[in-house]
Amino acid sequence: MAETRLSVRIDSTTKRSAESVFNALGMTMSTGINIFLTRVAQSRSIPFALEITDDPLDVQMRKAASASVGNSIRLNAPIALFDDEQNRPYLEYPDGKRSYELK
């Protein structure tokens, strides 16, 4: 299979946080992004729920998602976030409950 390069612009804080998650899972940033893109290609969808919140980063992500997938944002679904203090990802539900065991 032929390989190609992909260049992505992202803020340094998000990059460092993502690298921490990938490193904790024993993989590189490149491997993590490859897994994500492979899953998107296979499922023909974003592999996690998108939720509307007042978080500025979420607003930015929602705009990008709306531009690419129309208005198929699911309400009342958990959102994936990263806990900088515990240095690990978690799901936050609309009722405020957090789950650190991602499936």
For residue 1, tell me if it sits in a domain: no
Tell whether 102 and 71 lie within a shared domain.
Answer: yes
CA dihedral over 99, 66, 15, 7, signed as positive or negative: positive
Residues 91-103 pLDDT 10s? 877 777 888 876 5
Q: Is the pTM here over 0.75, yes or no?
A: no
Q: Which domain holds residue 82?
A: 48-103
The pLDDT-based confidence of 82 (bands split at 50, 70, 90) is: confident
Q: How many domains does the chain have?
A: 2
Give residue-wise pLDDT tens across range 41-76.
888 888 887 766 666 666 666 666 555 444 444 556
C-alpha distance across the termini of the chain, in Å: 30
Helix axes 12-24, 29-43, angle to 10 degrees: 90
Same domain membership, residue 90 and residue 58: yes
CA distance 92 to 55: 13
Edge-to-edge strand order for the sheet containing 98-99?
A: 79-83, 88-92, 98-99
33: confidence class by pLDDT, cuts 50, 70, 90: very high
What is the Cα–Cα distance from 85 to 83, expressed in whole angstroms?
Answer: 6
Give me the pLDDT at residue 29, please. 92
Structure tokens at 84: 């900088």
Based on the fold, state whether residues 16 and 52 are members of the same structural domain: no
